[in-house]
Structure formats: C-alpha cells, structure tokens
Structure 1
Amino acid sequence: MTERFAIYFAPSAESALWERASQWLGRDAASGELFDGTVAGVDRSRLLNLTQDASRYGFHATLKAPMALPPEHGAEDLREAMRRFCRVRRPLDLGRPRIENLSGFLALVVEPSESLSDLAADVVEAFEPFRAPMSLRDREKRVAKGLTERQVELLDAYGYPYVFDQFQFHMTLTDRLGAEDARDIAQAAATWFAPVLEERLVLDRLSLFHEPDSGKLFRRIADFRLGDAQ
C-alpha cells in the first residue's frame, strides 16, 4: 500500500464555502457524502467529467503537496508536528476570493501577500522531514508535464515544483477545460459561488488529507486551528 498525506488549507467543513465547493465537485472530502443533481444549470454527469481530478483531491489549497511518509515517521508523528506548528501561528485574513482561469482550469484565488507567502514557505520547510524521497518514476512523470528550470530545481529539493517563489494560492474547481467548456463552466461557477464570494476568506487552520492508496480518493481526516492550544 502506498498511502500519502497532504497538508492543505480548507475552510471549515461547516462553512458555506466548503458546502458549495463540495456540491460543485460532487463529493464532500470530510464526510464522504456524494452529491447528485444539476449545479447552476450544468448536468451532473458533465460536471463530474470536468472535475475528476479536482474531486479526487478534495476542495483545498495546497501548502505541502501529497507525500509518502519516511519509515522513521508515522501518521501520529505528523499530527503532533502539525499541532505544534499551528499552536504558535495566527490566522491570516486573505480578503475576498475570486474565480480565475489559471492556464485552463478554474480556481478560487486571493491577492498575494508577504504573510501568506511566508506561511506557505514555513509549511514546506517545517514538514520536509515527513516527506519520503520521490521515486524516479514520479519525478519523470512530473517533469514530462513541462516545468521551468527553477521548478525542476524545487521539485528535486522539495518534491513539488510550486513552492516558495513559484507558489500561488489557489483552490481548484475544475480540471483543465477545453475551449468549448471554458466559457459556460466559468459562468456556472460564477453563479454558483456568488453567494460566498462576498465573504472574506480566513486561513485559520491546516487540514490533513489522506490518500489510502495510489489513485484513491483523498479524505480530510484532521484539522488544526492556528493559535489553538490543541
């Protein structure tokens, strides 16, 4: 079994944003509930086809990308490290999110800030001891998707190319869309998420997600609130 863990930001599982995003993706990664029916006029079967990867990973913003644990660390070690990390940090107000097309896929994004970049970098560094080395096969698959020289450097150092100066906070809503889908799916997303995009997004927790085996659904298994004595 090749299980992996990821450290993400995800809003409270009781929040309107989480509920809307879960319904959009057809799956609640916290409860495991599946959703049927049209969304903003889009047939569920069509939307599922356009969100397969996004749905498998669950609604989130990546801070520490999915990783297998090394032999010297278990899941409880990772949980305890997350408790310690979050205890001494404070929530960040990210402002109002907006929907953008990022190289073909839709995502919720926020205005970049030094405090957000610093927190993301701290997560990458702090939890690097919990990342087992990437296999050559996985590296080759990632490089084959097209990376810059800097991104390959980061991939080799941290197992993920989009960290530090390459980091962009985003919460993925779709897989890569073709031209025939991009416009109307973007319109549907704007309609569906409009009620929650007026609210400011606060990064108030780190969420631990778990993939029990390669290719399986990620589940949200624990939350650690920033500033809490947990």
Structure 2
Amino acid sequence: MPDLLQGFSGSAFAAITRAPRRYGWHATLKAPFRLAAGRTEAELLDALLSLAAQISRFDLPALAVQRMGNFLALVPQQPSAELQALAQRCVVELHDFAAPLDEADIAARVKQGRLDEEQQALLRRWGYPHVMHRFRFHMTLTGDLGDLSAAQQAEVEAMAHAQFDDLPQPLTLDALSLLFEPDKGADFRLIARAPLR
C-alpha cells in the first residue's frame, strides 16, 4: 500500500478500489448486457473482430485524474471525435446482440441514476443512458468515496495524482476487448482482445 495512504488500513484501501478491481483496468465503450435470445457468444466475438478490423488505432487525448460524481477516474482532457465515433459504433453495431431491458431493469436504473428525460430515452433505446453524445470516456480508479471524510477523500485523490500524473502521453487505443461476468457481482473475465488495424 502506498505510504501516502497513511490513514487507511489494507481492508479500507481494498474497499475503496473493490468496484474497479472487479471489472479490471478498462474503459467501457458498450455497457454490459445479456445476450439476446438466439444470439451466441461466437457470433458476438465475430462481430467484435470485424468491427475492430475496420478501425485504425489512434492516440487518446492526455488523460488526467478527475472526480466524476463520488469516484475518481482517468478522463481525457480534450474532446476526441475519434473516441466518440468509436464508442458510438460499438453501441450501434453490437446492439442487436443485447437482450432488451425489462421494465424492472429500466425502473431500477432510472431510480439509481436520477436520469434526465434524454438519458431515460437513451436507456430505453440503447440499454444504457450514457451513450451517443452523453458518453464520457473514463477509466475508473475508485469506487464511491461518498462515505469518506473530506480529508480522506483528499488523501485518496492525492494518491491517485501521485500514481497517474506521470503517465506516458499520448496513450494509444489499439484494441477492443470482450469481457464476461460469470455470475452477478463476480469478477469480469477477458474472453478476447480484438486489435484495431
């Protein structure tokens, strides 16, 4: 554990990072979904590989630690048309593989996320509210910090800056990955990595 986190036990640090550790170092381009009836994992993988083969790798804008609500993430510091276009293609071109949300799923998401009308419409259309122009690329660093004191939150944020402010820049986005959640709440597993051209 970094010396910077003097006020945190190992278990407290583990709790702060439990959510991002569960699904691994990643940035979501298409939100998790259940496979639609009649579709197979092999078909999904073929579609992902085909999509990746059409897209050239590209450099991301500089990433920096930033608060997003009650958690910390690495976030691009400049807009990227290439990144937005890639995320949109993932949502649209893989959409037929996703089982539709039922009304209970939609109601739970609306209640949990306090979504505005446009986000609710995006949720119903695409299965997730943070898509299209509402998409924000981010690489999650912590879980919800809302239960920590202001001093503890500042300490965690300082640790994140110490760890990530010297990242080599630019970083290249060179592949799409397909991950699988074997059981609800279980750690995600990597199925395949699809290199961009």
Q: Same fold (TM over 0.5)?
A: yes
Structure 1 equivalent of residue 130 of structure 2: 162
CA distance in 1 between partners of 2:168 and 2:92 (Å): 33
Deviation above 4 Å: which 4+ runs of structure 1? Answer: none
CA distance in 2 between partners of 1:225 and 1:187 (Å): 34
- Identical pairs, percent: 37
State the number of aligned residues. 189
The answer to whether 1:97 aligns with 2:67 is no
Q: Write the deviation string for residues 70-106 of structure 1: whole angstroms up to 9, x where unpaired.
A: 1211111111111111111101211321100111210
Once the two structures are TM-superposed, the CA of residue 40 in structure 1 deviates from its matched residue by 4.8
Of the three residues 79, 86, 101, the one matched with 1:119 is: 86
Structure with the larger strand share = 1
SS of 2:184 mapped into structure 1: coil
Structure 2 equivalent of residue 55 of structure 1: 21
Of the three residues 176, 180, 187, the one matched with 1:206 is: 176
TM-score (norm 2): 0.90
Structure 1 equivalent of residue 186 of structure 2: 216
CA distance in 2 between partners of 1:204 and 1:191 (Å): 26
The answer to whether 1:153 aligns with 2:121 is yes
The answer to whether 1:66 aligns with 2:32 is yes
Structure 2 equivalent of residue 107 of structure 1: 73
Determine if contact 2:65/2:165 at 8 Å carries over to the other structure. Answer: no
- One-letter amino acid of the counterpart of residue 152, structure 1: Q
Structure 2 equivalent of residue 32 of structure 1: none
Structure 2 equivalent of residue 189 of structure 1: 160
Q: Write the deviation string for residues 165-205 of structure 1: whole angstroms up to 9, x where unpaired.
A: 1100001111121351320001111112244x233111111
Determine if contact 2:61/2:80 at 8 Å carries over to the other structure. Answer: no
SS of 2:31 mapped into structure 1: strand
TM-score (norm 1): 0.78
- For structure 1, the residue ranges without an aligned partner over 5 or more in a row are 1-37
Determine if contact 1:112/1:168 at 8 Å carries over to the other structure. Answer: no
Of the three residues 80, 83, 97, the one matched with 2:46 is: 80
What's the C-alpha RMSD, in Å, of the aligned pairs?
A: 1.4
